Amino acid sequence: MNQIKLFIELTRIKRPIGFMLLFWPCLWGLTLAYDFNLGVFTYFFYSTLFLSGSILMRSAGCIVNDIADKNFDRKVERTKNRPIASGKVSVKLASVYALFLCGVAFLVLINFNYFTILMALISMPLAFTYPLMKRITYWPQLFLGITFNYGLLLGWTSINESLSMLPILFYIGAIFWTLGYDTIYAHQDKEDDLRIGVKSTARLFQSNTKKWLWFFLIISIVFMTLAFTTALKSENNIFCFIIGITGILAFGIHLIWQLINLDINNADNCLMIFRSNRNAGLLPVLGFTCAIILQSIILTS
């Protein structure tokens, strides 16, 4: 029973914010690509696969991150009691857990087409080298954005079996979203990071953080809007566009709320603002789904 508790603590499975931030981009890409005239079974089946994959890979990523950062974690108040840093779980056992989770994730992956499987396998080095980035660059949050939002491309290719400018535009917008929320997250540990030599955009931006976050917000919304605009065919009803853009607008308003209420010198506030992104990611999904279902109805009527 104690090992089960340690496994749950090691994988952060009780903290859904991590796997939801992986899952939302997958669902963005899937929703934009899917033809709802074909019914909803495949959509929900693929959504379940992406959710399962997000949970498994986030759990494995947490373990790899804790193995790589065990010496740093021991020196940081917030992380010193993590299972590996505290010695409750050995590196060997943790490695076995990570391999097992990756194996199950592969069983999920093989339900997709060959192109999506290949794309996912290509991304594996990104997933497991992130812990090293904070040692060599002040922009590990950018690297995390590239990694965490890769599922958006997989969501798209799971339907289309190829890439186009549309998912790439949306991918860029999503990367800037991650740059924002992970910079906020990093402000929790900026003093400890300074002391032990860990780099982050929080340390780089310091008191100018909010200016940078506003910039990231604007870039994110611009690219998401460009992507959604190209997703709608020219013969679509204006209501499709309005409904879809409403989702992006609601997403943007939520991010503005975050910045207005953010206090970068309050760790509890930073954590609360960061966690609110699990709700922000749902808003574009709702807008896209309604718009694309309406689009399908119009095109077949």
Domain ranges of the chain: 2-300
Q: Which tens digit of pLDDT belongs to each residue from 191-206?
A: 888 888 889 999 999 9
Closest to 112 in 3D by CA, of 58, 151, 68, 169: 151
pTM of the model: 0.91
In this prediction, residue 299 has a pLDDT band, given cuts at 50, 70 and 90, of low
Q: Which tens digit of pLDDT belongs to each residue from 219-273?
A: 999 999 888 777 665 445 566 667 778 888 999 999 999 999 999 999 999 999 9
State yes or no: pLDDT of 115 exceeds 60: yes
The SS3 call for residue 301 is coil
Closest to 11 in 3D by CA, of 51, 48, 50, 54: 54
Going by the DSSP 8-state scheme, the letter that residue 36 receives in this structure is: G
223 contacts 169 by C-beta, under 8 angstroms: yes
Alpha-carbon distance of 278 to 261, in angstroms, equals 17
In this prediction, residue 295 has a pLDDT band, given cuts at 50, 70 and 90, of low
Going by the DSSP 8-state scheme, the letter that residue 13 receives in this structure is: T
Q: What pLDDT sits at residue 25?
A: 95
Alpha-carbon distance of 181 to 183, in angstroms, equals 5
Alpha-carbon distance of 228 to 295, in angstroms, equals 13
CATH number of 2-300: 1.10.357.140
Q: Give every CB contact of residue 45 below 8 A, 6+ residues apart in sequence.
A: none
**Selected residue with higher pLDDT from 223 and 127:** 223
**Selected residue with higher pLDDT from 297 and 145:** 145
17 contacts 278 by C-beta, under 8 angstroms: yes
